[in-house]
Amino acid sequence: MTRPLIFEISKPGRCATSLPELDVQPADLPEGLIREDLRLPEVSEGDLMRHYTHLSHVNYGVDTGFYPLGSCTMKHNPRINEAVARLPGFTHIHPYQDEETVQGALFLMYTLQEFMSEIGGFPGITLQPAAGAHGELTGVLIMRAYHLDRGDDIRDVILIPDSAHGTNPASTSMSGMEVVEIPSNEEGDVDLEALKAACEEHSDRLVGMMLTNPNTLGLFEKQVEEICAIVHEHGGLMYGDGANMNALLGIARPGDLGFDVLHFNLHKTFSTPHGGGGPGSGPVGVSSALVDFLPGPVVTIDEEKSEGDLPFFTLSTPAKTIGQVKAFYGHFGVMVRAYTYIRTLGRAGLRRVAEHAVLNANYLKEQLKETYPLPFDRICMHEFVLAGPPEDVQEDGVHTMDVAKRLMDYGFHPPTVYFPLIVEEALMIEPTETESKETLDAFADAMKTIVAEAREDPDLLHEAPLKAPMRRLDEVQAARDLILRWQPSDEDA
Amino acid sequence: MPYIPHSDADRKAMLQTIGVPSLEALFEDIPASARFPDLDLPAPLSEMGVRWELESLAEANLTTAEGSCFLGAGAYRHFVPAVVDAVISRGEFFSAYTPYQPEVSQGTLQAIFEYQTMICELTGMDVSNASHYDGATSTAEAVITAVNVHRMRRKKVVVSPFLHPEYRNVVRTYTQGMDLTIVGDEAASTDPTELLDKDTACVIVQYPDFLGRFEDLTDLGQAAQDVGALLIVATDPIALGLLKPPSAFGADIVTGEGQGLGIGLNFGGPYLGFFAAKKKHVRKIAGRLVGQTSDAEGERGFVLTLSTREQHIRRERATSNICTNQGLMALAAAVYMAALGKCGLRQVAELCYHKAHYAADEIDKLDGFSVLRDKPFFKEFAVRCPAPVAEINDHLLRKRAIMGGYDLGETYPEYKDHMLLCVTEMNPRQEIDRLVRTLKEVTS
């Protein structure tokens, strides 16, 4: 079924809202600077709602069904978070309002800083970064600034394991530094000998290392304390990619494990919606040596303006700040949701989140490992990686992408595919704690059925999906033709 | 327990399948010394309890609806039609991830394709990406694009002093490891045109500028082109409902803050960075792009495209590290633009323009106040005041719950005692008159 574009249902004169009459004398418009045309669509309110409702029907979200997208933590988005984030006291406040008139908002931010500090084990927190990758850029710039401040201006190397998210090397080079890749060993952990050799070779130039723990194979890096010690010995700092914090909530604090910097993903671990690709929020925690380098402003207490037990919250900029990483203070609306989540769950609830995320992942892994090759067979954390369909099926030309597309026919969103890069045909599965045993069982059944189907009729999988809103889409054609916008036909123009 | 569906029997059966005796046993890889810390966090709250707490925090803020607001400076109070929240509250949209699996993500993908088209129409540019975090970061990414277009051989970036001060900060933060020289914004009197040379990668101006003024940028565009520098224009999308698009001046990249397009003030975020460019730069730009294609049956559909520029493929050689962007905010902006349409956006822009001019004329009549009128202005204007801005704002707030303007003296020494006022369609005439009356009290 072809769905028209909103431009294709447009008709001159329609409008989906009404605006007030002008209540003052009009002023003159300057000549030569006024535009002539603006081809935005013209639709009625009813047509607009139907258009977007139809689009929502061909979109799959966590609300639609199981979304085991590895590394993305697609947990349920609680509705209380949405309700309170829409309170006018939060939505209708301007970032430049007098601090006295936004003490509720500043209290919330201050308390969230305290919560993140306690959960991560870091004395300093910035809430400004807008997403995980933005937090990485912030953290790497902080590490760079720390060395420069010590007069150590030749350090420009950051070590990154070969299993890392692509954002890690991209953030490093954006900060003007060089990436040195560290291989993984047969257990899926960092190859310690290779790490030592790289640290020796680049000792003078070492800024630090970026490590995801649990790593992208879903395994807890058992040598973490040793790795931190080696990097520290060479004057480097340890950056933690907190994308996988859902496994560690209340279980271990990255600050206690030896990390100096870490970004959180409020849109993964703390249940705020992914929004079809944002907005996220990527607060960064740092050790005491790095607090002065945080981007500003952060929320602090102004002792002079505080009265008795009533603290006065203020925005202030750390002494040696790397600068602002975005305008204003961060994604406040996302912070309201994360704050609400932490208050709802409390200390015990947060630990139960991690326990059940890990329970679900291990349970599903046990269900699937007889059917799908599991390259690292040990207790996993909140996710695990399979090496595609079984060998005999792959020999018949059925690959991970075919399994992914066929899962859609069974009503599931596919897992993350072809990542991490160190596992060929990777299927990366993260169920999250908000899924029931029944859902996991149904998914495991579908995964097993798909392998049986592949053995019987490989072409069925190549054809998949058959029941999704669309058949397989041609990505090569999209890159070749490069149609990035709608164009009016001659008669419209 | 909230959000976790397991019964005791489920847990027991699952642990048995795994072959471990307890939940604790799943965590033995973690160093014992750091395992199970005793966190100092509050006890859980019921849904009712948490709602009460958040309601009381929200009530501790003075909203722009309770007072009257004349603050702008990069975050604007515009009317948001009800359809915007109705659409972005649909779980199929907000609980989805980035549309990596296009067969089940056509809703997000088509909506972004439509958004890209609308941004192209508004700015006059050829291509738009799927969004950045905000106006400041989209402008910083534009600088990096310009430097990459010149293969890192040009090291100079010229910045107008009237680019938003926070945007200038963010450009400097983003590029601090890139060995660039950023010039032009040391003094308000600097003319960016005079700084252009063969080492200049790009020049960035704001249109309308931070003081709300706009002018024909044709000469600047030509001067940039003459030395091979890119012209980057940071703009206000509401102003483009009325004003000539930056493409008319030869802009290479147009960026800006899309918050005015149906997104609330939210104390500074989440907002929407938009980014549009000439087609020839498409392979150098950051961020996601949605392209049109067809499926196995020939039906039109949409996918993410040119991802070889992006971090998940190109890693350290990517054009940017951006991954998560502002998907839902881009959807809000698209719904807003569709709801207002061709005539509605023009009407909003005209309401802003005329009301701002009415306010400026009335304030200009007051003793001691004078409006800066060296160029045309849109919805914001600078006023020289007879007293420090902080004092005047204090009076406005305490006397009449009016949120006065941004204190320009804080970032521009040349504009000490100057206030930047913003008037939109949300300020009825009575509110403007009340502002004028209250300002008059300051001098009397």
Whether A114 and A248 share a structural domain: yes
Tell me the mean pLDDT in the region B250-271. Answer: 98
CA dist B213 and B353 (Å) reads 11
What is the pLDDT, as a whole number, of residue A489? 81
- Cβ of A340 within 8 Å of Cβ of B406? The answer is no
Q: Which residue has the tokens 């150590």?
A: A152
Whether A42 and A100 map to the same domain: the answer is: no
Count residue pairs from A and B with Cβ separation < 8 A: 679
Where are the alpha helices (H) located in A250-399, listed in sequence order? Answer: 254-257, 332-368, 391-395
Judge residue B193's burial from the number of C-beta atoms within 10 Å of its C-beta, 0-12 exposed, 13-18 middle, 19 or more buried: middle
Q: A378 lies in a domain?
A: no
Strand partners, A125: A285
Q: Is A54 inside any structural domain?
A: no
Taking 3-state DSSP, the helix, strand and coil percentages for chain A, each rounded to the nearest 5, stand at: 40, 10, 50
Tell me the chain A residues in contact with residue B320 when contact means C-beta distances shorter than 8 Å. 170, 174
Please state whether B299 falls in left (phi above 0), alpha (psi between -120 and 50) or beta. Answer: beta
Domain identity same for A2 and A117: no
Check whether residue A10 and residue A109 sit in a common domain.
Answer: no
Q: Which of A325, A313, A373, A333 is nearest to A133 (CA)?
A: A325
**Percent of residues, chain A, with pLDDT higher than 70:** 99
> Is A491's pLDDT higher than 80?
no
In degrees and rounded to multiples of 5, residue A392 shows phi and psi of -65, -35
pLDDT of residue A215: 94
Same domain, A240 and A124: yes
Same domain assignment for residues A255 and A141: yes
Q: Do A128 and A191 fall into the same domain?
A: yes
Residue B62 and residue A60: Cβ atoms within 8 Å? no
Contact predicate A6/A51, CB 8 Å:
yes
pLDDT digits (tens, 9 = 90+) for B112-147: 999 999 999 999 999 999 999 999 999 999 999 999
Q: Within this chain, do residues A115 and A41 fall inside the same structural domain, yes or no?
A: no
Clarify whether residues A156 and A12 are in a common domain: no
Residue A364 counted as domain residue: no
Q: What average pLDDT does range A355-379 have in this prediction?
A: 97
User: Mind listing the pLDDT tens digit for each residue in B102-116?
Assistant: 999 999 999 999 999
Per-residue pLDDT reduced to its tens digit, A273-290: 999 999 999 999 999 999
Task: Judge whether A218 lies within some domain.
Answer: yes
CA dihedral A301→A304→A306→A307, nearest 10 degrees, is 160
Question: Residue A365 domain-assigned?
Answer: no
Q: What is the band of B308 on the pLDDT scale with cuts at 50, 70, 90?
A: confident
- Within an 8 Å CB–CB cutoff, is residue A400 touching chain B? no
DSSP symbols for A209-264: EEEESS-TTS---TTHHHHHHHHHHTT-EEEEEGGGGGGTTTT--HHHHT-SEEE-
Q: Which domain holds residue A1?
A: 1-16+36-47
Residue % of chain A over a pLDDT of 90: 97
Cβ-contact A434, A446 below 8 angstroms = no
Identify the structural domains of chain B with CATH numbers, from first to last.
68-79+342-443 (3.90.1150.10), 82-336 (3.40.640.10)
Scan for tokens 């995320």, then name that residue.
A357
DSSP line for A335-368? HHHHHHHHHHHHHHHHHHHHHHHHHHHHHHHHHH
**Contact (Cβ atoms closer than 8 angstroms) between residue A465 and residue B103:** yes
Cβ atoms B348, B340 nearer than 8 A: yes
Query: What's residue B311's pLDDT?
Result: 84
Strand partners, A161: A182
A72·B97 Cβ contact <8 A? yes
Looking at the structure, tell me whether residues A230 and A311 fall in a common domain: yes
For A38, which of B15, B173, B342 is closest by C-beta distance? B342
Provide mean pLDDT across the span A303-327: 96
Mean of the pLDDT values across residues A159-181? 94
Residue B425 and residue B32: Cα distance in Å, rounded? 61
Nearest-Cα distance to chain A for B187, in Å, is 20
Residues A142 and A222 in one domain: yes
CB B255 within 8 A of CB B274: yes
Q: Is A312 on the interface with B (CB under 8 A)?
A: no
Distance CA(B207)–CA(B216), nearest Å, equals 9
For A403-428, the pLDDT digits (tens) are 999 999 999 999 999 999 999 999 99
Tokens of A58: 């061909």
Interatomic CA distance for residues A351 and A252, integer angstroms: 10
The vertex-A485 CA angle with B262 and A2, nearest 5°, equals 95
Q: How far is B385 from chain A (nearest CA, A)?
A: 19
Average pLDDT of the residues in B74-82: 98
Q: Do residues A290 and A192 share a domain?
A: yes
A311 interface with B at CB cutoff 8 Å: no
Q: What are phi and psi of A206, to 5 degrees?
A: -75, 115
Structure tokens at B3: 């959000």
Smallest Cα distance from A469 to chain B, Å: 6
Nearest chain B alpha carbon to A130: B133
Nearest CA in chain A to B90: A56
In chain A, the number of structural domains is 2
Q: How far apart are CA B429 and CA A325, in angstroms?
A: 38
* pLDDT confidence bin for A192, thresholds 50/70/90: very high
Give the Cα separation of A249 and A269 in Å (integer).
8
Sign of dihedral through CA atoms B140, B143, B144, B145?
positive
Domain boundary among A297, A315, A342: A342
- Please report residues of B whose CB lies closer than 8 A to that of A243: none
| Mean pLDDT lowest among A179-183, A292-296, B9-13, B320-324 | B320-324
Residue A465 lies in a domain: no
User: Dihedral of CA B69/B70/B71/B72: which sign?
Assistant: positive
Per-residue model confidence (pLDDT) at position A1: 57
Averaged over B219-243, what is the pLDDT?
A: 98
Residue A492's pLDDT is what? 54
What pLDDT does residue A315 have? Answer: 98
Q: How far apart are CA A419 and CA A380, in angstroms?
A: 17
pLDDT digits (tens, 9 = 90+) for A434-477: 999 999 999 999 999 999 999 999 999 999 999 999 999 999 99
- What residues of chain A lie within 8 A of the CB of B42, using their CB? 343, 346-347
Backbone angles phi, psi at B391, to 5 degrees: -65, -45
Q: Are B151 and B162 in contact (CB under 8 A)?
A: no
- Band of the pLDDT at A302, cuts 50, 70, 90? very high
Beta-sheet strand order (sheet of B406-407): B370-371, B380-384, B418-422, B406-407
Average pLDDT over residues B71-95: 98
Q: How far is CA A200 from CA A153, A194, A235, A259, B408, in A?
A: 18, 10, 11, 20, 52
Residue A398 lies in a domain: no
In sequence order, the 6+-apart residues with CB closer than 8 A to the CB of A438 are none
CB contacts of A72 in chain B (<8 Å) are 97
Residue A336 sits in a domain of what CATH number?
A: 3.40.640.10
SS3 category, B397:
helix
3-class SS at A454? helix
